[in-house]
Structure 1
């Protein structure tokens, strides 16, 4: 595992997993939200955001967490490991409630979380199949599975 792309619903624990893997593996974790939003929660222009990701995936070792399906192929093309956190909506909503104040939470975002498995997950899985056939694919459906994976590292 040298180039790891982590995807999943908001509140699933993508950033937490990325941080823990970074400590264990000794290379940097990048949280795409930090590159997409500025301090006022304004999104980056699409071309700048894509260029940033092209720069990030050019490194020999990386961990990148975040969905952003429009630029997912950039990360998938270079990833050797793809991790999908496919947790139930109630688990993700609990994760969001625990981090309140650190991220912007809106009603449309909560609706996105509730519908993620039905609407976004199939799109993410299709992109993984199309762009990351060369990569190791790990899909976790619980925090227990994630913790077992981390314990084995």
Structure 2
């Protein structure tokens, strides 16, 4: 099993982007951020069909790290992934990180707080439906993140 296509998902403030960048440095694999597909250069929301097409095109590549939401394309990414990483730090930590990062943006705080209620079950379905040839990880703490990074860096994977 090789870490060539890595899907990272979880709530706002979970640490997805940071983990993706760290994995990219270790593995030399390109990172794609779903948020970049969602908004255009002016910050305007793109149509769902355009977002989905972009994310699906990324998932069709041979090597990738795709981090972020857009649960409409979860199954497309998960079906091609060799590694699934669900970021699940405590809710209070996610909310705190979003408050710092997004300058108390109410919408961001709301979705960080409510993520588990709206999307947590979708995350579980993706993890539970992974085949035997797909490595799955649920990372709750910084220690969990460091252990995953160490394992991949040592090529014990």
> What's the TM-score, normalizing by structure 1?
0.88
Aligned residue pairs total 149
Q: Which residue of 1 aligns with 2:37?
A: 35
Say if 1:7 and 1:83, in contact at 8 Å, map to a contact too.
yes
In the alignment, structure 1 residue 64 sits paired with structure 2 residue 59: no
Name the SS for the 1:111 alignment partner: helix
| 1: CA distance, partners of 2:48 / 2:105 | 22
Unpaired runs of at least 5, structure 2: none
Unpaired runs of at least 5, structure 1: none
TM-superposed deviation, 1:144: 1.9
Counting only pairs closer than 5 Å after superposition, residues 100-111 of structure 1 correspond to structure 2 as 100=102, 106-111=105-110
Q: 1:2 aligns with which of 1, 4, 16?
A: 4
> What's the TM-score, normalizing by structure 2?
0.86
Aligned alpha-carbon RMSD (Å):
1.7
The superposition leaves residues 47-82 of structure 1 with CA deviations (integer Å, 9 ceiling, x where unpaired) of: 111111221111111000001111111111111100
The superposition leaves residues 62-116 of structure 1 with CA deviations (integer Å, 9 ceiling, x where unpaired) of: 0000011111111111111000001111111222133236xxx642331221122
TM-superposed deviation, 1:46: 1.3
Counting only pairs closer than 5 Å after superposition, residues 131-150 of structure 1 correspond to structure 2 as 132-133=130-131, 134-150=133-149
Name the SS for the 1:49 alignment partner: helix
TM-superposed deviation, 1:129: 2.8
